[in-house]
Amino acid sequence: MEEPIIQLQGVNKWYGEFHVLRGVDLDVAKGERIVICGPSGSGKSTLIRCINRLEEHQAGTIRVHGVELTNNLKNIDAVRRDVGMVFQQFNLFPHLTVLENCTLAPIWVKKTPKAEAEAQALRYLERVRIPEQAHKYPGQLSGGQQQRVAIARSLCMNPSVMLFDEPTSALDPEMVKEVLDVMIDLAEGGMTMLVVTHEMGFAKSVADRVIFMDRGEIVEQAAPEEFFTNPKSERTRTFLGQILNH
Amino acid sequence: MTQENATVPVLPPKAPSHGPLAWAKANLFNGWFNTILTLLLLWLAVRLVPGILEWALADAVWSGEADACRADGAGACWAFVAEKARFILFGTYPFEEHWRPILAMLVVVAMLLASADRRLWGRPLLLIWPAGLGIAGLLMFGGVLGMTYVETTYWGGLPLTLTLSIIGLAFAFPLGVLLALGRTGNLPVVKALSVAYIEIIRGVPLISVLFMASVMFPLFLPQGVSIDKLLRAQLGFILFAAAYLAEVVRGGLQAIPKGQFEAADALGLSYWQKVRLIVLPQALALVIPPLVNTFIGFFKDTSLVIIIGLFDLLSSTKAALTDPAWRGFYKEAYLFVGLIYFAFCYAMSRYSQYLERDLAKGRRR
């Protein structure tokens, strides 16, 4: 079997006294699509933010493509180049146009020639279905459009893994679908994805594996049919009961 | 959902009333209090303006000797300004060489105008400025190409004011940005040094910094070594302005949301790329008003160099007033330099307003 693209072993993290990640083990295979859910404060966002070192873990090892994340800046840069991230609040750069948002990192980090970076950016904007907005500023777009630009911006670095941190939680309800459609399209293209979300419909239709986290631990993980029809732990059942019956 | 079954008619906006009468009614005579204020100000204007115009224009003496100005009923003595203009503008710079500072100032003003155009921002300006300042410096100093050498002790007037403020702010600004980054960053030693520097400099008056630079500093130099007085004042000025600019810039840095830093990190940008491409463009755009406020303040504060014997625009005006033949024409002299200061400050102020509007285009969150 091929080596996992992401390997987490015994990852622990504390915020002061608060033990936010408790010995998390996780292997992600290439092309695998994982949905992580759990109550707020369960450490799911912190977990994926450790994978590109936006947060530092304090014990255990995290490897991406065999590169271990330590204080070594070279390693951190290498991992960040290879791992794209989409945020709940989009975090587009408001002083740059949509196109400039997408070409900035390729031009400065990967030293891609400008014309090539722009052509590539337009291809990805096409893929997220907003090529016509390329010369607008983020502030002129709707939330759903902004999030799709954010996805395109990440794709422009040609990452082998994409992390999504509650990508639809800050959107108005009518815009959730347009973003999920883009994510489904991405999943069907074979992208390795880790998605923190409460969109259980997305989990059912797209995920290879659903992970339930609570109080800093992975409580249960299974394929979606198994996970939703036959959850093993009491905590998972309670959680599913709360989010599915409202 | 569709237009056809809408029950509420779509109305055009209420038409506003037009014309000067409608405007006056809405703005000058809306209510008894504003009506009284308007009438009071009109009365004041009628009382004051004719007198001022008579003094400044109708009765003014435009040329001739001081005696003409001292005649009964004479108004403003512009003859004094005409007589002393070159001394006020250029101080003790050799009279026959005045074309050199004029040319130097034209070069600098041309560069300022070019810098105002945002399309040139970036590499072109980084090449233009050193070259332009080099040419201006060459013209001012001379000593080559058949131009006589003019020591900085003979520099004066407007060129000196512009040298102190433009060179001063050009160096103080990047230093201030670095201090602000140091203070907001997470390197403990750099942070402590930045805080200490900013707080110490801000706790000391500019006059004492200039005084230190001109009187105390030479005492610490070894025998025989001397550093030009203008250079010392310039350094003192740069170090002082940097601390103030640092605090202005820090205000902008702290207003940038954490998500901007995270997005830049997640894309793999290095620290300096993040600062230059993401953080500073947003932070500086936010602090344009206080930044220009500080620039204008320091432009005028250059006049403090009078205490260390440098003849900037204001000092040369004071010196012009000591001519025994032309005693007593303070109003005219100070109005004249006041207008020069105003022209520069007002230009900065208008430009900052334009820049703020221009940068805000399409960027509203």
Give me the total of CB pairs closer than 8 Å, taking one residue from chain A and one from chain B. 68
A159-192 pLDDT, tens digit each: 999 999 999 999 998 899 999 999 999 999 999 9
Contact B363 A137 (CB under 8 A): yes
Distance from CA of A196 to the nearest CA of B (A): 16
Paired strand residues for A218? A213
Mean pLDDT of chain A, nearest integer? 92
B33-78 pLDDT, tens digit each: 999 999 999 999 999 999 898 888 888 788 878 777 887 778 888 8
Q: What integer is the mean pLDDT of A53-69? A: 92
Query: For the residues of A152-205, what is the DSSP string, one character each?
Result: HHHHTT--SEEEEESTTTTS-HHHHHHHHHHHHHHHHTT-EEEEE---HHHHHH
Mutation target among B258, B267, B277, B287 for the A interface, most CBs of A within 10 A: B267
pLDDT at position B4: 53
Residue B283: closest C-alpha in chain A: A95
pLDDT at position A115: 95
Q: Are A124 and A155 contacting, i.e. CB atoms less than 8 angstroms apart?
A: yes
Mean pLDDT of chain B, nearest integer? 87
Q: Is the pLDDT of residue B6 over 60?
A: no
Within 10 angstroms of residue B179's Cβ, the number of other Cβ atoms is 25
Q: Is A158 on the interface with B (CB under 8 A)?
A: no
Distance from CA of B2 to the nearest CA of A (A): 18
B229-271 pLDDT, tens digit each: 888 888 889 999 999 999 999 999 999 999 999 999 999 999 9
Could you give the CA distance from residue B238 to residue B245 in angstroms, rounded to a whole number?
10
pLDDT at position A24: 93
Contact A91 B259 (CB under 8 A): yes
What is the number of alpha carbons within 13 Å of residue B338 lying toward its C-beta? 6
Q: Is A87 on the interface with B (CB under 8 A)?
A: yes
Q: What integer is the mean pLDDT of B279-291? A: 92
Could you give the CA distance from residue B135 to residue B145 in angstroms, rounded to a whole number?
12
Distance from CA of A189 to the nearest CA of B (A): 21
Contact A95 B281 (CB under 8 A): yes
List, as ranges, residues 322-361 from B with C-beta within 8 Å of A: 359
Higher local confidence (pLDDT), B60 or A146: A146
Q: Is A36 on the interface with B (CB under 8 A)?
A: no
pLDDT at position B345: 93
Q: What are the φ/ψ torsions at residue B122 (nearest 5 degrees)?
A: 110, -140
B169-224 pLDDT, tens digit each: 999 999 999 999 999 988 999 999 999 999 999 999 988 888 888 888 777 877 77
Q: Are A179 and A146 contacting, i.e. CB atoms less than 8 angstroms apart?
A: no
Q: What is the ipTM of this complex?
A: 0.92
Q: Which residues of B touch A135 (CB under 8 A)?
A: none
pLDDT at position B185: 87
Q: Is B270 on the interface with A (CB under 8 A)?
A: yes
* Facing residue for A108 by CB, picked from B262, B277, B362: B277
Q: Is B263 on the interface with A (CB under 8 A)?
A: yes
* Facing residue for A157 by CB, picked from B267, B270, B273: B267
DSSP state of B77: B
Distance set, CA B201 to CA A160, B206, B238 (Å) = 51, 9, 11
What predicted TM-score, i.e. pTM, was given to this entire model?
0.85
Q: Is A101 on the interface with B (CB under 8 A)?
A: no
Distance from CA of B362 to the nearest CA of A (A): 6
Within 10 angstroms of residue B27's Cβ, the number of other Cβ atoms is 10
Q: What integer is the mean pLDDT of B23-42? A: 89
pLDDT at position B5: 57
pLDDT at position B364: 52
Q: How far is CA A211 from the centre of its chain?
A: 14
Q: Which residues of B touch A102 (CB under 8 A)?
A: none
DSSP reduced 3-state for A65: coil
Distance from CA of B38 to the nearest CA of A (A): 43
Hey, what are A224's tokens? 């979606």
Q: Which residues of B touch A54 (CB under 8 A)?
A: 262, 265-266
Q: Is B266 on the interface with A (CB under 8 A)?
A: yes
List, as ranges, residues 39-78 from A with C-beta within 8 Å of B: 52-54, 77
Distance from CA of B348 to the nearest CA of A (A): 23
pLDDT at position A135: 93
Distance from CA of A16 to the nearest CA of B (A): 18
Q: Is A114 on the interface with B (CB under 8 A)?
A: no
DSSP reduced 3-state for B225: coil
Q: Is B256 on the interface with A (CB under 8 A)?
A: no
pLDDT at position B1: 45
Within 10 angstroms of residue B121's Cβ, the number of other Cβ atoms is 11
Q: In which band, very low, low, confident or very high, does the pLDDT at B362 lie, cut at 50, 70 and 90?
A: low
Burial B312-338, CB ≥16 within 10 A → b, else e: bbbbbbbbbbeeeebeebeebbeebbe
* Facing residue for A108 by CB, picked from B269, B282, B363: B269
pLDDT at position A194: 95
The span from the first CA to the last CA of chain A, in angstroms, equals 42
Q: Exposure of B346 by Cβ count < 10 A (0-12 exposed, 13-18 middle, 19+ buried)?
A: exposed
A148-160 pLDDT, tens digit each: 999 999 999 999 9
What is the number of alpha carbons within 13 Å of residue B361 lying toward its C-beta? 9
The span from the first CA to the last CA of chain B, in angstroms, equals 28
Residue B285: closest C-alpha in chain A: A95
A199-222 pLDDT, tens digit each: 999 999 999 999 999 999 999 999
What is the percent of chain A where pLDDT is above 70? 99
pLDDT at position A29: 93
Distance from CA of B285 to the nearest CA of A (A): 9
pLDDT at position B365: 43
Q: Is A85 on the interface with B (CB under 8 A)?
A: yes
Hey, what are A37's tokens? 């859910």
Q: Tell me which amino acid residue B342 is.
A: F
Question: Residue B312: left if φ>0, alpha if ψ -120 to 50, beta else—which one?
Answer: beta
Contact B278 A93 (CB under 8 A): yes
